[in-house]
Amino acid sequence: MRVKSARIHAHGGLDQIVVDEFDLREPGAGEVRVGVRAAALNHLDLFVLAGIPGIDMPLPHVLGADGAGVVEAVGPDVTNVAVGDEVILNPGLSCGTCPNCMAGEQSMCPRYEIFGEHLDGTFAQAIVVPSINCHPKPERLSWEQAGSFALATLTAWRMIATNAGVGPGQTVLIHGVGGGVSLVAMQIALAAGAEVFVTGHSEEKLKRAADLGATRCWDYRSANIAREVRSATDKVGVDIVVDNVGEATFADSIKACRKGGVIVTCGGTTGPKLPVDVRYLFWNHIRIMGSTMGNEVDFQRMLAAVSSGAIEPVVDSVFELEDTVKAFERLQAAEQFGKVAVRPS
C-alpha cells in the first residue's frame, strides 16, 4: 500500500525532511495497520533528525513517536483490536522476555525501542505496529488531542506520579513550563492536590501556566529561583522538583529542594552536564531520579487519568503533513504551549 509520509533520507537540519510516498508493508503476525488521523512532535524528533550517536537507523526514516488513528487491517493472531477500532499508540516497544520486562519494567528493557526513533514513526498516512501498542482512544478527545499526549504524558506520569509519588498538600517546582512533559507534569501535580510553582522563559507561557493553576511563576533567566522558592515555602523548600531544563536550572533545583525531597528528570533542554554541589545533596538527603518513558502500568494509569478528564491534553497548533517542516520550526523556536500536532490524512 502506498502511503504519504514525512521522512528523512539523511540526517541534518529541517531541510532534510521530505514529504513523499513509500510502500508500507502488510501487517504480520500480531501486528495491525493503523490509519493515522493525528500525530505529534516531541523533542525526540529533533534529536532523530540530527542523528543520535549509537543509534543506527535505516534511511529513509519516517519521523514521529505519537499518533492515534483507526485500525485498517489486522495480521494473524491479533485478538485485542479489530478493524474499525479507534486507538492511540503506546510509542514504546520492549522485548517482553528479559528480566526487566518480566518484572514489568518495559522501559528498562535493554532492547527498548520508540516509534520514530528506532523504527519508522507516525508521520504517515498509515503505520504498521504490534497490536499490543494499541489502546482505546478516549472518546472525549479530539483526534489532535488523542494523537499528541502519549509520549509526554507517560514520561511525566512516570516521573512525578510513580517516582516522586506526588500527593495532596505537597509543593512542586516545575522548570520550563510550556514544553510537553513539564506542562503535563503540572497538570498531574495539580490533579493530585499539590501546589505548583513553575519557571519558564516567556511571559506568555508563565501567564498560561498561572491560568491553569500554578500559584507562583518565575522567569528562570532573571529570577533567583532558589531564593524565591525558599521565601514561598517558609524556608523549607519544595517536596518535588521536575527539572528537564538541565544545565540552566539544576543548581537552583538542588537549592530549592527541601530536606528529603526528590528531583526528577527525563532530560535537559539547555544542556546535559548538570552542576551538582554534592554538599547540598548529602546534607539535605536529596534524591535525584532519572527515567525514560514508563512501564505498562504507568501507561494504563496515565491513560485512565486522561480518559477521566483529570489530565487535559493541550494542543498548541495543528499542521497538515505537507507542512511538517513548519511544525518543526515551531518546536525548534520553543514557541509552543502544549503539543504541536500533524494531520496526515
* Interaction of residue 101 with Zn ion, rule CB under 5 A: yes
Q: How near is the Cβ of 111 to Zn ion at its closest, in Å?
A: 6
Instruction: In whole angstroms, give the CA distance from residue 297 to residue 8.
Output: 33
* Interaction of residue 295 with Zn ion, rule CB under 5 A: no
Q: Which is nearer to Zn ion, 55 or 103 (CB)?
A: 103
Q: Single out the segment in contact with Zn ion by CB under 5 A; choices: 10-18, 25-33, 86-94, 220-228.
A: 86-94
Cell numbers for 316: 498548541
Strands (E), 201-283: 216-219, 238-242, 257-265
Q: Which is nearer to Zn ion, 243 or 298 (CB)?
A: 298
How many alpha carbons lie under 13 Å from residue 343 in its C-beta half-sphere?
10
* Interaction of residue 41 with Zn ion, rule CB under 5 A: no
* Interaction of residue 95 with Zn ion, rule CB under 5 A: yes
Q: Which is nearer to Zn ion, 108 or 223 (CB)?
A: 108
* Interaction of residue 93 with Zn ion, rule CB under 5 A: no
Strands (E), the chain: 2-8, 17-23, 31-40, 61-62, 66-74, 86-89, 92-93, 113-114, 126-130, 134-136, 171-174, 195-200, 216-219, 238-242, 257-265, 287-290, 315-320, 339-343
Q: Single out the segment in contact with Zn ion by CB under 5 A; choices: 68-76, 103-111, 123-131, 264-272.
A: 103-111
Q: Which is nearer to Zn ion, 109 or 156 (CB)?
A: 109
Cell numbers for 326: 513548519
Q: How near is the Cβ of 105 to Zn ion at its closest, in Å?
A: 9
Touching Zn ion, residues 108-167 (CB under 5 A): 109
Instruction: In whole angstroms, give the CA distance from residue 164 to residue 286.
Output: 12
Q: Which is nearer to Zn ion, 109 or 232 (CB)?
A: 109
Instruction: In whole angstroms, give the CA distance from residue 16 to residue 180.
Output: 24
Q: Which is nearer to Zn ion, 93 or 206 (CB)?
A: 93
* Interaction of residue 98 with Zn ion, rule CB under 5 A: yes
Q: Single out the segment in contact with Zn ion by CB under 5 A; choices: 57-65, 92-100, 118-126, 244-252.
A: 92-100
* Interaction of residue 107 with Zn ion, rule CB under 5 A: no
With CB atoms as reference, the residue minimizing the distance to Zn ion is 109
Instruction: In whole angstroms, give the CA distance from residue 335 to residue 186.
Output: 18
Instruction: In whole angstroms, give the CA distance from residue 316 to residue 344.
Output: 17
* Interaction of residue 94 with Zn ion, rule CB under 5 A: yes
Of 136, 20, 119, 116, the closest CA to residue 71 belongs to 136
Of 316, 250, 298, 300, the closest CA to residue 278 belongs to 250
Q: Single out the segment in contact with Zn ion by CB under 5 A; choices: 87-95, 121-129, 167-175, 179-187.
A: 87-95
How many alpha carbons lie under 13 Å from residue 282 in its C-beta half-sphere?
2
Q: Which is nearer to Zn ion, 105 or 243 (CB)?
A: 105
Site string for Zn ion, 271-290 (x = CB under 5 A): --------------------
Q: How near is the Cβ of 35 to Zn ion at its closest, in Å?
A: 29
Q: Which is nearer to Zn ion, 100 or 142 (CB)?
A: 100
- Binding site residues, Zn ion, CB under 5 A: 94-95, 98, 101, 109
